[in-house]
Amino acid sequence: MNKVTWYCPKCEHENIDLLKETATPMCGGCENHFHWEDLAHVGDDLELYLNVIDSMSNVLHGKPACDLMDNHKDATDSMTDDFANSIKASFALQRIALKAGLL
């Protein structure tokens, strides 16, 4: 899903943005700019977290994160664990790339 509802960590304003078209989403309430990986990191939306990791993976490695590993389930389990432990999306991607032997 490309359309994302997120809540501002500063003022808790509800915002809706398009993940792919918006590099640094801006809060309509307080006009602060954020990075998706910071919003996904503080949010409770696993789908957003996975989407953000995929977007970064597409830029860095040319394919979605779960396609970096031969075993998709291992990749998804790794990211789900990292989400549960509030690991930043960039670190979660780094761990997948390490396991896949890309780093």
- Residue from 2, 5, 10, 22 that binds Zn ion (CB under 5 A)? 10
CB of residue 33 to Zn ion, shortest distance in Å:
10
- Residue from 4, 6, 19, 27 that binds Zn ion (CB under 5 A)? 27
102 binds Zn ion (CB under 5 A): no
The residues, any chain, with a CB within 8 Å of residue 53's CB and separated by 6 or more, are 40, 65, 79, 89, 92, 93, 96
d(CA 11, CA 9) in angstroms, rounded, equals: 6
> Of 44 and 70, which CB lies nearer to Zn ion in the complex structure?
44
Residue with tokens 């309430």: 29
16 binds Zn ion (CB under 5 A): no
Interface positions with Zn ion (CB under 5 A): 8, 10-11, 13, 27, 29-30
